[in-house]
């Protein structure tokens, strides 16, 4: 696994990585989108996906090819790359989606893996059991057991240079997802899709989706390349990347276009309801909504949806490189309540995010109460326990007017709390803060003050608190003198 995937720049659990694909000899930069290509219907030819939109990898369904009277033999004789005319890497699904939709398929996991190898797939997928959210636990455990048996068999399969994925199942049970992730990495397989999350996304249950991803990541570990099956809407990419996902597969660009729907990073619009395009991609710059509606509607909407999808991927990579991925996630969270739920769920896993979140990056921007729960704040609070303090200390959370005689004065900077002078210009204490802070910023600062005082019971701590809300003051230990 470590030989094919290298993670470089990190922010939260998101990373820019390089996935080496030996069969086709290409390297895919992640995070990225894998456009779903139906081998029978191609509004945008695969080569155009590569040359015009920058797709380095796509995904198609080997089960459809296997059962196609028209394409089965041709795929075997010509090979998948020649059949689709695509110069990058190609991943293939196995029919698990059809299994979840129709209850059965007419091929075994071993048969479909062999077919994927023979047609030249770069990343093959065994037939796992997609266990829907909220499935009764006993059923989820039984289905997970079947999936794990198939992964073990796939690990013994002679795939040649074809990489093999190990789907992670377990429904909405965090302990099952974590155990499934640990088992999947133990098989020695290569790419790790988190499966059966489409129902959560269709129902806008992004908080639960993040919990599923976080649990799977605990089992998989930070080195595993992670694919989030069925995640195709650009409004949730930043959230999913920050949670630790590297690959997404999207049919949304085409399905939505077929239904006259226009993708944005804030949600989905219906073409007939638009008077203006809020986008500057080539389609939106050249056409009005009325012209698209009266022209090649499906193709033009498909092109726009691809442009906005790949633009968001580039934006996310830039944010990781610049160290402000969580600011991007928060801006997306302000565009849709369901993404805000997901962001809050992500921050509930801040302790887990700390394992990969860089200790220093670009300026911390405090944007809302959610910012008070970021990994940087937790890290600073923990650091307070290790700082040397004098016998008496004034924490200046407001004007002091010389009211207290003390050996030393530190500032108190919401949401971090106490900041000694030598750290005041370092990350993250040099954060950009609004003048009108919310209660969560002061509450987090109060937790930092309490942590410092509890770690140093012999230090006399005074706190100048002009303007602090009563709720934050009430959370302070009684040993702290308020000025």
Residues annotated as part of the active site = 93
Residue 3, burial from CB neighbour count under 10 angstroms (0-12, 13-18, 19+): exposed
Find out whether 279 is annotated in a ligand binding site: yes
Residue 281, CB-side half-sphere exposure with 13 Å CA sphere:
22
Residue 424, CB-side half-sphere exposure with 13 Å CA sphere:
9
Residues 409 and 47: their CA atoms lie apart, in Å, by 64
Find out whether 245 is annotated in a ligand binding site: no
Decide if 240 contacts 213 (C-beta within 8 A): yes
Q: What is the full DSSP assignment across 17-59?
A: EEEEETTTTEEEEESEEEEEE-SS--SS-HHHHHHHH--SEEE
Task: Look up residue 120 and give its DSSP letter.
Answer: T
3-state SS record for 201-261 = HHCCCHHHHHHHHHHHHHHHCCCCCEEECCCCCHHHHHHHHHHCCCEEEECHHHHHHHCCE
Going by C-beta distance under 8 Å and a sequence separation of 6 or more, which residues neighbour residue 205? 133, 338, 341
Find out whether 459 is annotated in a ligand binding site: no
Find out whether 284 is annotated in a ligand binding site: yes
Residues 343 and 335: their CA atoms lie apart, in Å, by 12
Pick the closest to residue 412 from 426, 395, 435 (CA basis): 395
Query: Binding site for substrate: what residues are annotated?
Result: 128, 196
Query: Binding site: what residues are annotated?
Result: 128, 196, 279, 281, 284
């Amino acid at each position: 696994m470590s030989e094919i995937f290298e993670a470089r720049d990190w922010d939260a659990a998101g990373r820019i990585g390089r996935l080496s694909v030996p069969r086709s000899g290409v390297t895919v930069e992640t995070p990225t989108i894998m456009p779903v290509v139906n081998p029978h219907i191609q509004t945008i030819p695969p080569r155009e996906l590569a040359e015009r939109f920058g797709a380095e990898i796509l995904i198609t369904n080997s089960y459809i090819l296997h059962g196609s009277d028209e394409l089965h033999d041709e795929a075997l004789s010509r090979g998948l790359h020649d059949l689709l005319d695509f110069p990058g890497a190609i991943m293939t699904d196995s029919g698990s989606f059809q299994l979840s939709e129709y209850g059965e398929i007419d091929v075994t996991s071993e048969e479909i893996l062999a077919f994927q190898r023979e047609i030249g797939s770069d990343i093959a997928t065994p037939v796992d059991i997609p266990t829907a959210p909220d499935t009764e636990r006993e059923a989820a455990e039984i289905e997970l057991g079947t999936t794990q048996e198939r992964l073990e068999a796939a690990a013994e399969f002679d795939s040649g240079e074809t990489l093999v994925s190990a789907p992670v199942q377990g429904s909405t049970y965090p302990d099952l997802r974590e155990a499934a992730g640990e088992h999947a990495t133990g098989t020695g397989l290569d790419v790790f899709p988190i499966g059966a999350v489409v129902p959560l996304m269709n129902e806008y249950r992004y908080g639960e989706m993040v919990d599923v991803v976080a649990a799977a990541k605990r089992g998989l570990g930070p080195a595993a390349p992670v694919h989030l099956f069925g995640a195709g809407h650009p409004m949730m990419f930043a959230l999913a990347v920050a949670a630790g996902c590297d690959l997404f597969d999207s049919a949304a660009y085409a399905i939505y276009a077929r239904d006259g729907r226009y993708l944005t990073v804030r949600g989905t619009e219906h073409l007939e309801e638009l008077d203006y395009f809020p986008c500057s991609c080539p389609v939106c710059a050249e056409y009005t909504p009325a012209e698209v509606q009266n022209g090649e509607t499906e193709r033009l909407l498909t092109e726009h949806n691809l442009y906005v999808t790949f633009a968001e991927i580039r934006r996310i990579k830039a944010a990781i490189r610049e160290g402000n991925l969580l600011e991007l996630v928060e801006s997306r969270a302000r565009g849709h309540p369901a993404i805000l739920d997901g962001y809050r769920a992500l921050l509930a896993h801040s302790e887990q995010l700390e394992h990969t979140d860089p200790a220093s990056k670009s300026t911390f921007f405090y944007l809302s109460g959610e910012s008070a729960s970021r990994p940087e704040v937790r890290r600073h609070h923990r650091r307070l326990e290790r700082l040397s303090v004098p016998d008496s200390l004034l924490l200046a959370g407001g004007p002091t007017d010389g009211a207290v005689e003390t050996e030393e004065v530190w500032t108190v900077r919401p949401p971090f709390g106490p900041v000694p002078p030598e750290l005041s210009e370092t990350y993250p204490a040099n954060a950009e803060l609004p003048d009108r802070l919310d209660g969560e910023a002061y509450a987090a600062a109060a937790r930092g003050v309490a942590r410092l005082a509890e770690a140093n019971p012999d230090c006399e701590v005074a706190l100048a608190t002009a303007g602090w809300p009563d709720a934050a003051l009430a959370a302070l230990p009684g040993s702290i003198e308020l000025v």
